[in-house]
Amino acid sequence: MGYNFTDNVKEYKNLISSTMLLSFVNVVSKKMKQLKLTGFIFFLFFFTESLMLPTELQDLDNFNITQKFIEENVEYITIITFAQYVQEATFEEMEKLVKDMVEYKDSCMANSMLPKCTKLPNDVLQEAICAMEGLPQKHNFSHCCSKADTERRLCFLYNKKANVGFLPPFPTLDPEEKCQAFKNNKESFLNHFVYEVARRNPFVFAPTLLTVAAHFGDVTKSCCEEQNKVNCFQTRAVPVMQYLKAFSSYQNNVCGVLLKFGTKIINSINIAILSQKFPKIEFKELISLIEDVSSTYDECCEGDVVHCIRHMSKIMNHICSKQDAVSSKIKECCEKKIPERDQCIINSSKDDRPKDLSLREGKFTDSENVCQERDADPDTFFAEFNFEYSRRHPDLSIPQLLRVVQMYNDLLRNCCNTENPPDCYHYAEEKFNETTEKGLKKIQQECKHSQNLGKDGLKYHYLIRLTKIAPQLSTEELVSLGKKMVTVFTTCCTLSEEFACVENLADLVLGELCGVNENRTINPAVDHCCKSNVAFRGPCFESLTAHKTYVPPPFSQDLFTFHTDMCQSQNEELQKKTDRFLVNIVKLKYEVANEELQSLLTNFGNAVEKCCKAEKDEEKLVCFNKESPKLVT
């Protein structure tokens, strides 16, 4: 049977999420039917005990599992690792490495006691990449090859480029060519697909890429048997790529937070998410689970494919081993086979609030010993506050929950230095409620404003705003970000939990703007927001105005010269050209008021409509040559 995505998966609908996978996919997957994965992916998740190459005699069953893992999956592991680390490399260069790794695997299977077989798989792959003649120099990563162990692994990590504008457009084949290539050599076809997807998504976790590849292979097989192949691919392949885009956005954001702010902030986010999803879990059990999640992100963001897979499965094992104490919603999930079990748990809804859970936890506002408990172990104290507050407020966004934790931290810093601390912090809950109410009203106003503007008006509003605060970004980046901001409101403002949805999804878009790598710089104001407290990233961006020291680029007539192909463009392509025109005109006329920019956009639309009415291409071209200069003078 094939993978069935529901037909009404909307563009980027998958992005409705918090900044943590378990909550993220919970909302996404309500728009998809349960996924049924192939035995290939089944094996990847099944293997949870040890993913290192054998270093000593082990239990026979475990040894056979290890051997089977290496034998069956070495090509895909190599492709993903290589394509994500060396994005510029050609497919032919990648094939050379795959051949080398297959030979390595064969030799270790013949004699596992060889010294080279005692190394971690990721170290073996990086050494093999560095050993490829001329490759480090050709693709500018020789500085990483001069390092060893942890330093080399981190170097490869920081060498990844989230912005892939330097790569050619994703190669496309018409359905007949695609099916012929699939028929001629299925393995090569899917290897090409994994290579192209992995190099354009360097921070996407390996299990996600493997899942997408399995989906795409099944879709291709099914559609190539259909008479109307074009319609089949449009119906079934597009949702698969949207699924990839959604996970890419989420995982890029996770890795960006990890690289810029470290494990402590990631843990705070995870505590909030898991407390909302599993409100009856005990605090000690939650902390144990958080440790597993943090290890997963360390390995997955670093690009250690093998250990990423292991830790993903370990989390699910942990949850199912304690399911009675974790959630009433996962019993049926834990009875399923792996990886259906894992997908089911991720998709499960938030557990019901325990009947005996009070509306508020008095120990953080009513106790006279709050300051002493904070001083005894600050990290554990605020982690427990995060847990207790988050599980009582499943309707709040993750940024809002983190803001409440920070507010409480600041409040105690002040109150614990007063003569009567209990009188000071006793009213903390009221302050939290005031802040939340303010945030809720603001989101309601923004939703109303977005509905008044309409979808196109909202898009142009954000294209202008984003270009003015970050004009240094490329036109394509700004167009993409503007489009995603529109998705925030068109998706969330119709939901009952619009507050959480808007903030969570907007935070993903801002995370994409800030980028993954720590050294990404745009301009001082934007950089400040990107490096400030994650909880306050949204409010920081809202306070930004046009970049005051920006110097517009020299006028380029090429950017504003239009041809007759404007008239042949389908609606979607014409919209893209219109969006690019607006961004380019904002960059050029940076000081112009928003109203005038909107007027220029209207003039552009009128000019296209006027010129495309001409009967002959020559007449259309004359018209465009006449009208174009009026738009930029």
d(CA 331, CA 387): 23
In this structure, the answer to whether residues 158 and 71 fall within a common structural domain is yes
In this structure, the answer to whether residues 481 and 402 fall within a common structural domain is no
Cα distances (angstroms) measured from residue 129 to each of 92, 202, 341, 420: 13, 16, 35, 63
CB 267 within 8 A of CB 294: yes
Kindly state the DSSP code that residue 559 receives in the 8-state scheme.
G
Q: What's the whole-number mean pLDDT along residues 314-338? A: 83
Collapsing DSSP states into helix, strand and coil, what is residue 232?
A: helix
d(CA 482, CA 461): 9
d(CA 145, CA 151): 10
Query: Read out DSSP for 515-544?
Result: -SSTT--S-HHHHHHHHS-GGGHHHHHHT-
In this structure, the answer to whether residues 394 and 530 fall within a common structural domain is no
Q: Band of the pLDDT at 46, cuts 50, 70, 90?
A: very low
Collapsing DSSP states into helix, strand and coil, what is residue 124?
A: helix
Kindly state the DSSP code that residue 397 receives in the 8-state scheme.
-
Mean pLDDT of the chain: 83
Task: Tell me the backbone φ, ψ of residue 53, rounded to 5 degrees.
Answer: -65, 145
Residue 256 lies in a domain: no
d(CA 276, CA 398): 10
Residue 531 lies in a domain: yes
Long-range contacts of 330-337 (CB under 8 A, 24+ apart): 337/42
Signed CA dihedral, 436, 438, 440, 446: sign only: negative
Q: What's the whole-number mean pLDDT along residues 274-282? A: 93
Q: Which tokens in the block code for residue 41?
A: 């992916």
Q: Name 5's bridge partners.
A: 32
Collapsing DSSP states into helix, strand and coil, what is residue 108?
A: helix
Q: Which tokens in the block code for residue 448?
A: 């109303």
In this structure, the answer to whether residues 396 and 505 fall within a common structural domain is no
Q: Band of the pLDDT at 53, cuts 50, 70, 90?
A: very low
Q: What's the whole-number mean pLDDT along residues 270-290? A: 93
Residue 563 lies in a domain: yes
For residue 392, how many other CB atoms are within 10 A of its CB? 17
In this structure, the answer to whether residues 129 and 192 fall within a common structural domain is yes
Q: What's the whole-number mean pLDDT along residues 491-519? A: 88
Cα distances (angstroms) measured from residue 395 to each of 305, 351, 430: 35, 13, 17
Let me know how long the chain is: 633
CB 305 within 8 A of CB 122: yes
* Closest listed residue to residue 253, CA positions, set 316, 206, 297: 297
Residue 243 lies in a domain: no
In this structure, the answer to whether residues 420 and 276 fall within a common structural domain is yes
d(CA 263, CA 276): 20
Encode pLDDT of 175-204 as tens digits: 999 999 999 999 999 999 999 999 999 999
Cα distances (angstroms) measured from residue 617 to each of 420, 460, 557, 611: 82, 30, 21, 10
Encode pLDDT of 408-464 as tens digits: 999 999 999 999 999 999 999 999 999 999 999 999 999 999 999 998 899 999 999
Residue with tokens 């998809």: 32
Q: Is the pLDDT of residue 44 over 60?
A: no
| Per-residue model confidence (pLDDT) at position 71 | 60
Q: Is the pLDDT of residue 371 over 90?
A: yes
Residue 402 lies in a domain: yes
For residue 344, how many other CB atoms are within 10 A of its CB? 20
Signed CA dihedral, 495, 501, 503, 508: sign only: negative
Residue 34 lies in a domain: no
Contacts of 143 (CB under 8 A, 6+ apart): 155
d(CA 297, CA 402): 20
In this structure, the answer to whether residues 447 and 413 fall within a common structural domain is no
d(CA 419, CA 55): 62
Instruction: Among 543, 569, 587, identify where a domain stops.
Output: 543
Encode pLDDT of 95-135 as tens digits: 998 888 888 878 887 888 888 888 888 888 899 999 999 99
Instruction: Among 426, 453, 476, identify where a domain stops.
Output: 426
Residue 46 lies in a domain: no
Q: Band of the pLDDT at 340, cuts 50, 70, 90?
A: low
Kindly state the DSSP code that residue 616 receives in the 8-state scheme.
S
d(CA 384, CA 378): 10
* Closest listed residue to residue 535, CA positions, set 358, 382, 347: 382
| Residue bearing the bigger pLDDT, 21 or 526 | 526
d(CA 190, CA 211): 12
How large is the angle between the packed helices 206-223 and 175-184, nearest 10 degrees? 100
d(CA 164, CA 245): 14
Q: What's the whole-number mean pLDDT along residues 137-161? A: 92
Residue with tokens 């090859």: 145
| Per-residue model confidence (pLDDT) at position 198 | 95
The CATH number of the domain where 331 resides is what? 1.10.246.10
| Per-residue model confidence (pLDDT) at position 406 | 96
For residue 224, how many other CB atoms are within 10 A of its CB? 18
Cα–Cα–Cα angle for 408, 252, 81, rounded to 5 degrees: 135
Instruction: Among 476, 509, 543, identify where a domain stops.
Output: 543
Kindly state the DSSP code that residue 396 receives in the 8-state scheme.
S
Q: In terms of residue numbers, what domain contains 511?
A: 440-543
| Per-residue model confidence (pLDDT) at position 70 | 44
In this structure, the answer to whether residues 363 and 291 fall within a common structural domain is yes
CB 198 within 8 A of CB 204: yes
511, with CB counted inside 10 A (0-12, 13-18, 19+), is buried
Contacts of 186 (CB under 8 A, 6+ apart): 217
Q: Which tokens in the block code for residue 494?
A: 């119709």
Cα distances (angstroms) measured from residue 355 to each of 324, 328, 358: 16, 13, 8
Q: Band of the pLDDT at 370, cuts 50, 70, 90?
A: very high
Residue 362 lies in a domain: yes
Q: Which tokens in the block code for residue 12?
A: 């980027």
| Per-residue model confidence (pLDDT) at position 372 | 96
Residue % of the chain over a pLDDT of 70:
87
| Residue bearing the bigger pLDDT, 606 or 388 | 388
d(CA 332, CA 68): 29
In this structure, the answer to whether residues 369 and 397 fall within a common structural domain is yes
Signed CA dihedral, 271, 386, 256, 196: sign only: positive
Query: Read out DSSP for 20-72?
Result: SHHHHHHHHGGGBPPP---HHHHHHHH--S--SPP-S---HHHHHHHHHHHHH
In this structure, the answer to whether residues 345 and 272 fall within a common structural domain is yes
* Closest listed residue to residue 17, CA positions, set 254, 240, 301: 254
Encode pLDDT of 535-587 as tens digits: 999 999 999 988 888 888 887 777 777 777 788 777 778 888 889 989 998 99
In this structure, the answer to whether residues 528 and 466 fall within a common structural domain is yes
| Residue bearing the bigger pLDDT, 493 or 26 | 493
- Cis amide bond preceding 339, omega within 30: yes
Kindly state the DSSP code that residue 419 receives in the 8-state scheme.
S
Q: Which amino acid is at 498?
A: E
Residue % of the chain over a pLDDT of 90:
46
CB 163 within 8 A of CB 477: yes
In this structure, the answer to whether residues 293 and 378 fall within a common structural domain is yes
299 assigned ligand-binding residue: yes
How many domains is the chain partitioned into structurally? Answer: 4
The answer to which of 3-7, 48-52, 199-203 has the lowest mean pLDDT is: 48-52
Q: What's the whole-number mean pLDDT along residues 318-333? A: 87
